[in-house]
Chain A
Amino acid sequence: MAFKLNVNGKAHSADVDGDTPLLWVLRDTLGILGPKYGCGIGQCGACTVHVDGTPVRSCSLPVEGVGAAKVVTIEGIGADPVGKKVQAAWSALDVAQCGYCQPGQIMSATALIKGKAKPDDADIDAAMSGNICRCATYTRIRAAIKQASGQKAQA
């Protein structure tokens, strides 16, 4: 059946089975390729998007559960002032290695800072532990979150 979705402020319609995970609707039906498939079971966070502002693993959210909620992906997060700062910090510190997990990392980091303007290390550990970086760029992820939230980045 056709599901109406609001993604990055735009209305979309997707004619898919209701059990299709949001991730695959975004990627294969709507051509929004920023959210990534990593594990399919909510373990790695590469597919993280915001659903009404909350970071969600889109690989594990059936499209029929989205309803009228506003979905924001990495493609749309730059429209948010915090998201834009996070992206800028990620660029300035050149956080990425392969870069595959980074859309998910940026989505989680943005939600963190939106919830707590100046997260400390424990906040970062708690909010970011659902996102695996296989290249292990964790030192820079931490520093970029500090920088984006106006705290002194760690050396």
Chain B
Amino acid sequence: MAADGTFPLSASRRDILKTGVGAGGGLMLGFALAGKGAAQAATAKLNTYVSIAPDGAVSIMAKNPEVGQGIKTSLPMIIAEELDVDWEQVKSVQAPSDPALYGRQFAGGSAATPLHWDELRRVGGAGRAMLVAAAAQGWGVPAADCTTASGVVHHKASGRKATYGSLAAKAATLPAPDLKTLTLKDPKDYKIIGRSIAQVDTPAIVTGKPLFGIDVVVPGMLYATFEKAPVFGAKVASADLEAAKAVKGVRHAFVVEGGTSLDGLLPGVAVVADSWWAARKGRDKLNIKWAEHPTSGQSSRGFAAKAVELSKAAPLRTERNDGDVDGALKGAVKTVEAAYAYPFLSHANLEPQNCTAQFKDGKFEIWAPTQNPQPGRELVAKTLGVKNEDVYIHMVRCGGGFGRRLMNDYMVEAAWIAKQVGAPVKLIWTREDDMRHDFYRPAGWHFLQGGVDAKGDIVGWKDHFVSLGENGQFGRSAGMAAHEFPARFVPNYRYDLSLMPCGVPTGPLRAPGSNAIAFVVQSFIDELAHAAGADPVAFRLKLLGDKCLVGVVGRDAYDAGRMAGVLKLVAEKSGWGRKLPKGSGLGVGFHFSHLGYFAEVVEVKVAGDGAVELVKVWVGADVGRQIINPFGALNQIEGSVLDGISEALTQQVTIENGAAVQSNFNDYPLIRISAAPPIETHFVKSDNSPTGLGEPALPPVIPALCNAIFAATGKRIRQLPIDAAILGTA
């Protein structure tokens, strides 16, 4: 993963090949031979992913963490399709973190679909080929004369058939086929891929079965709470540990020295008790005094003032400089100058960070709701002085990911506390801990100038981006690529960069970078469209032009043809251009991220007091030729859209005196059902390999909403969250 939380395709492509070999090798490595005699009753493991029981039940390992994106369902669906079994025979089994078997296991970058589409079809196809070979050998017929359907091998000529369950033990002893020579299904024959299939955990979810990290119970387990300084990384000066220990049920209270890296174990005070409530009550008695810290003076207001100051000075460096921007702006018929800003955001996973850990005989066993177990293992090993292989991680279902659980701070805290008390410990953060100790979506500031010529084309675009970072490096997730749209589509384009240091931990939030940049770019394009007197959709189509692919696939490719396709579709479906009453408006935005092309239209109604009501959202989406599970796909798109709307309308974390001001859902409101508009999604099934849906639907909705507000009120939103107070006409 890159520092900004994205997964560069070039690296990913290399990893596919590596993983592909691993998985192919796994066909050989992975088996547990069914043994002799009684073995007939045992389940046979065909490869790393697939095991088949004599009764035909198929277990498929789900390699990646499940955070609500549906991957525990969709990746096994891909294998099951090519294995040619019925989905009803399949049990999806959550794999543990085991890089030797599964390669990288993470939930991020909407990467699982593009990374595994080819590989896992071949894993399934290889299993099928082994079962066919087993049947063909038994019958003394050529494998090529055999067919499969619903977990049964058929030999049409002789009318013979055999179930996978009866063949699996023998198949597991056969060599794995060459993955490259496998014949995969024609998509028209798909029976599982493309079907709306409920998540495999849905029955357990609706009946309240324990599934999540917070539900883990280990015999003899104690409960922990851990208080860290409001100012990120400040040390403990004093704490009344005895008062905490005096509370009934409290077993331990101690200071954790911690380190200085905001990514590692930070200083704090742990209280461990027989129940979590007792631990909390003990914590309330701690009366902690925190040491002074160099960042205790920082504030959101200070960052904003510094950004303005930096914008007026020469930039730290110029990231891109095409043509002659200053000349173009001078020659432009109309110019626009605008400053855009967006705040820190919290992930606010509904399941607060938690982790259960046990230290026994020099080894850790950890149950973690993590999106990214492997760096967690390394962090625990390094911090606690054990070897990586002495840290075993069970991946448990996450009550939301959104990028927060790519970081493993809670994991190292649980491990440290468990080791110190010598018993299994479940650490649960309070909501307040969670919101005050996030890796926040970084705030950012863009100072823009643009100009259009007499033909209504953008001739110049200049962005002085003031971001967070130091030593010439972006802070985590605070970057913007030099090829970010509309670079390469505007002849005279300059992107200047300045950075300011920041002691606030930052990190990837769903569609990192894009969730902010789309707002800035697509809003400013709208400003230029209006300056040119052009229709915002027509203006955008002209900007995309007749270019198709620009850039290099796997690095910085941008397919303007695909973007124009979704833009035209969403314009048509939303009835773009129709007349709306006063106070109502349509807005449009598009954005490419995570290999997905999305254009969205929002219809709003703005009341006299400035209250914004979302009437409807239309989504045009191009994630390639195949939707693997329409149920999950639509859920991800709708959730992303509402997530973006929620960010735009109400969310911000304010830093004052070095600490986060907001602490719970009363001062950090999330969208509720009453504010959620209907969403209509349309796909363009372009002839491209399928890509992920966890993120790319989010970015465009924010500018589409802001542009709709402009259409309704004539007021331009240049700062998030949207301040309804400035929209009122009353």
Residues of A at under 8 Å CB distance from B?
Answer: 16-17, 20-21, 24, 27-29, 31, 33-41, 43-44, 46, 73-75, 78, 87, 90-92, 94, 96-103, 106, 124-126, 128-129, 131-142, 154
Contacts and interface: CB of A to CB of B under 8 A. Distances in A.
A125 B431 CA distance: 25
A49 B205 CA distance: 15
Contacts of A31: 217
A94 B348 contact: no
Contact of B350 (A16, A28, A33, A101): A101
Interface stretch (B119-127, B207-215, B652-660): B207-215
A98 B642 contact: no
Contacts of B556: none
Contact of B348 (A78, A96, A126, A134): A134
A29 B205 contact: no
A146 B277 CA distance: 38
B199 A28 contact: no
Given A43-B664, A99-B397, A141-B673, A90 B223 contact: no
B399 A74 contact: no
Contacts of B212: 36, 99-100
Contacts of B431: 38-41
A46 B635 CA distance: 20
B24 to A, nearest CB: 33
B184 to A, nearest CB: 27
What does DSSP make chain A's interface, helix, strand, loop or mixed?
loop
B40 interface: no
B674 A129 contact: yes
A46 B208 contact: no
A24 B206 contact: no
Interface stretch (B63-71, B308-316, B438-446): B63-71
A126 B674 CA distance: 8
13 contacts: A28-B223, A38-B352, A39-B664, A90-B206, A92-B198, A94-B199, A94-B202, A100-B212, A128-B673, A134-B349, A136-B643, A138-B642, A140-B635
B638 interface: yes
A98 B431 CA distance: 18
Contacts of A98: 67-68, 350-351, 397-401
B666 A41 contact: yes
Interface of B: 67-70, 196, 198-199, 201-203, 205-212, 214-215, 217, 223, 248, 275-278, 281, 348-352, 397-402, 428, 430-431, 631-632, 635-636, 638-639, 641-643, 646, 664-666, 670-674, 676, 678-679
Most chain-A Cβ atoms within 10 A of its Cβ — which of B203, B641, B642? B642
Nearest to A90: B206
Given A96-B68, A102-B205, A141-B673, A136 B430 contact: no
Given A44-B665, A99-B68, A137-B638, A154 B678 contact: yes
Contacts of B217: 31, 33
What does DSSP make chain B's interface, helix, strand, loop or mixed?
loop
A37 B352 contact: yes
A77 to B, nearest CB: 8
A47 to B, nearest CB: 11
A103 B208 contact: yes
Contacts of B664: 39-41, 43
B430 A132 contact: no
Most chain-B Cβ atoms within 10 A of its Cβ — which of A78, A87, A94, A98? A98
Q: Which 7 A-B pairs have the closest CB atoms?
A: A34-B208, A98-B68, A100-B399, A74-B208, A136-B642, A99-B205, A97-B68
A128 B199 CA distance: 23
Given A94-B198, A136-B646, A33 B67 contact: no
Contact of B214 (A36, A75, A139, A140): A36
Contacts of B196: 94
Given A33-B210, A34-B207, 9 more contacts: A37-B428, A99-B201, A99-B205, A99-B399, A132-B665, A136-B641, A137-B639, A138-B672, A138-B673
Nearest to B429: A37
A26 to B, nearest CB: 11
A102 B671 contact: no
Contacts of A94: 196, 198-199, 202, 631-632, 635
A120 B72 CA distance: 34
B301 to A, nearest CB: 27
Contacts of A38: 350-352, 431, 665
Most chain-B Cβ atoms within 10 A of its Cβ — which of A31, A99, A137? A99
Contacts of B248: 17
A125 B672 CA distance: 9
Most chain-B Cβ atoms within 10 A of its Cβ — which of A16, A73, A94, A129? A94
Nearest to B354: A37
A132 B673 CA distance: 8
A154 B677 CA distance: 12
Nearest to B211: A99
Contacts of B430: 40
A135 B400 contact: yes
A12 to B, nearest CB: 15
Contact of A36 (B70, B199, B351): B351
A145 B660 CA distance: 37
A132 to B, nearest CB: 5
Contact of B665 (A35, A43, A142): A43
Contacts of B646: 136
A91 B208 CA distance: 13
